Chain A
Amino acid sequence: MKAWWSLRAPLPRSNSPAMKVPLICWLAACLPLAAGTLKFDQTKKEVTVDNEQKTVSVDYEFKNDSDSDTAIEKYDAGCPCATVGVKDSKMNYKPGETGTIRISFDLGMVPGTMDKAVAIYLKGDPANCPSTTLNTHIIVPTLVEVEPKSLMWDLGSKPEPKTVTVTMKHSEPIKIVSMSGADPRFKQELKTIEEGKKYEVVITPTSTEKVGMGVIHLETDCTFERHRSQRIFMVVRQPLAKQQAAAAAQKNP
């Protein structure tokens, strides 16, 4: 029995220029399909910022580790809080070439830690499927800690006083210079535990018969604007639906 390939006519030799040229063109046309990739030194970075900073820039170095050319097509920070730039605006990279992506974050007025992701799309990447996502963990030190930031009472519950602790986490003392929030539905009292270091705010609703919300503003002498003003939120609310459901289930097992 003959092998199946022996039944086929011999293939024509491809020495003629008429065949080589279209083949080379074909291969050249296919090259973009075999797009290269960029290898990043790190795709996750953590950065701690100073309190006066309003922006922070983070660099991500990369190298085209593949055998073919590649190009950065676009980047998506997902929000206007970050601007992305490539060093020297160079978007095309040959094998072995290196580059840097710089992400500048607008820290806004938000204290505390944040996670920001930026998607990097290379040529040939499908929509919504970037080759690389660069994740930056930004730590903005908290200088004035308010714990808890919100107090809640259930409707009809006993209007008991609740306490909020304000702790200064800075090396220098930070004083509370004023407390405002003249909502007649809540009584508040400021207690100094240690001047410039620790305070307590005791809040008592005058009544829990009606749903109500209030806000207390604490002004400090902190030199950093981001931390100068603090808020405490108070809510008298309907008991949670889950609690109601659980109570109903207990009543009607």
Chain B
Amino acid sequence: MKTVTELALVLACASLGAVATWKVTGPPSRAVICDPATITPDEICLSTVQAEWPAGSFLWIDARPAAEWKLNGIPGSIPLTMTGDTSFDEQVEASLEKLGTAQRALVYCGSSGCGVSKEVAKRLKDLGFIPEVRALHGGWDALKQAGLVKDSSPAN
């Protein structure tokens, strides 16, 4: 019985310590970690964009499926993805006015792990319209954590 009491005491102490840590340091961070020194050259951190790319000076490109872009894409963004039945060229043609005049573009996709934004960025670079095209590290997760998106804010 004594052992059980001791075990309960240890558990209680550990729980108290955990609660105290939570209170002092806050909940565990689930933020998308982005270190400019470790990301690939075709990516960019949201913090870098916010610090160095003036609002309105670049074009947002939504690489998620078109339905998701319609639902809550960043206002002013254009849809350009690698999935679905519409070819990449057709999508480029549909947004040629914006793509042809942009000086910079930032591509985001659905999550931290998605690679579609990098693919779209690569194809845009190959087209050569836009001098600087980057994929947003962390994608939609990073935008959500920064409070830049809502659950439903139609892009168009």
Which residues of A come within 8 Å of B, CB atoms? 16, 18-19, 22-23, 26, 76-81, 106, 108-110, 114-119, 127-128, 130, 133, 148-150, 152, 211, 213, 215, 226, 229-231, 233, 235, 237-238, 240-242
Segment among B16-24, B45-53, B78-86, B147-155 that sits at the interface with chain A: B78-86
Would you give the shortest CB distance from B52 to chain A, in whole angstroms? 14
Q: Which of A23, A78, A109, A226 contacts B109 (CB 8 A)?
A: A78
Q: Which B73-98 residues sit within 8 Å CB-CB of chain A?
A: 81-90, 92-93, 96-97
B114 at the interface (CB under 8 A from A): yes
Interface pair A116/B115, CB less than 8 Å apart: yes
Q: Which of B2, B110, B114, B141 contacts A128 (CB 8 A)?
A: B141
Q: Which residues of A contact B2 (CB under 8 A)?
A: 18
Q: Which residues of A contact B115 (CB under 8 A)?
A: 78, 115-117
Q: Which residues of B contact A133 (CB under 8 A)?
A: 113
Smallest CB gap from B67: residue in A: A80
Q: Complex formed: what's the CA distance from A115 to B114 in Å?
A: 10
Given contacts A80-B65, A128-B30, contact A233 B129 (CB under 8 A): yes
Interface pair A119/B83, CB less than 8 Å apart: no
B39 at the interface (CB under 8 A from A): no
Q: Which residues of A contact B81 (CB under 8 A)?
A: 79
| Contacts between chains A and B (CB distance < 8 A), count | 111
Smallest CB gap from B102: residue in A: A237
Smallest CB gap from B11: residue in A: A26
Smallest CB gap from B68: residue in A: A80
Q: Complex formed: what's the CA distance from A241 to B131 in Å?
A: 9
B127 at the interface (CB under 8 A from A): yes
Q: Which residues of B contact A18 (CB under 8 A)?
A: 1-4
Q: Which of A117, A149, A215 contacts B113 (CB 8 A)?
A: A117
Given contacts A18-B4, A235-B100, contact A81 B93 (CB under 8 A): no
Would you give the shortest CB distance from B2 to chain A, in whole angstroms? 8
A-B pairs with lowest CB-CB distance, top 4:
A78-B114, A81-B83, A109-B87, A235-B100
Would you give the shortest CB distance from A246 to chain B, in whole angstroms? 12
Smallest CB gap from B103: residue in A: A241
13 A–B contacts from the bound complex (CB under 8 Å): A78-B110, A78-B111, A109-B86, A109-B87, A115-B115, A115-B118, A117-B114, A119-B113, A128-B33, A152-B129, A231-B89, A231-B93, A237-B101
Q: Complex formed: what's the CA distance from A26 to B109 in Å?
A: 43
Smallest CB gap from A130: residue in B: B113
Chain B contact residues: over half helix, strand or loop, or mixed? loop
Smallest CB gap from A116: residue in B: B115
Q: Which residues of A contact B129 (CB under 8 A)?
A: 150, 152, 233, 235, 237
Q: Complex formed: what's the CA distance from A192 to B49 in Å?
A: 47
B64 at the interface (CB under 8 A from A): yes
Would you give the shortest CB distance from A198 to chain B, in whole angstroms? 21
Interface pair B119/A22, CB less than 8 Å apart: no
Further contacts, 18 of them, CB under 8 A, given A108-B84, A233-B93: A18-B4, A78-B111, A78-B115, A79-B81, A79-B116, A81-B82, A108-B85, A109-B88, A127-B30, A128-B30, A128-B33, A133-B113, A211-B101, A215-B96, A229-B87, A231-B89, A235-B96, A237-B100
Q: Complex formed: what's the CA distance from A133 to B112 in Å?
A: 12
Interface pair B119/A115, CB less than 8 Å apart: yes
Q: Which residues of B contact A108 (CB under 8 A)?
A: 82-85, 87
Q: Which residues of B contact A115 (CB under 8 A)?
A: 115, 118-119
Q: Which of B33, B64, B112, B126 contacts A149 (CB 8 A)?
A: B126
Interface digits, B31-71 against A, CB 8 Å rule (1 contact, 0 not)?
Answer: 01100000000000000000000000000000011000000
Would you give the shortest CB distance from B106 to chain A, in whole angstroms? 16
Smallest CB gap from B31: residue in A: A128
Interface pair A79/B110, CB less than 8 Å apart: yes
Interface pair A233/B127, CB less than 8 Å apart: yes
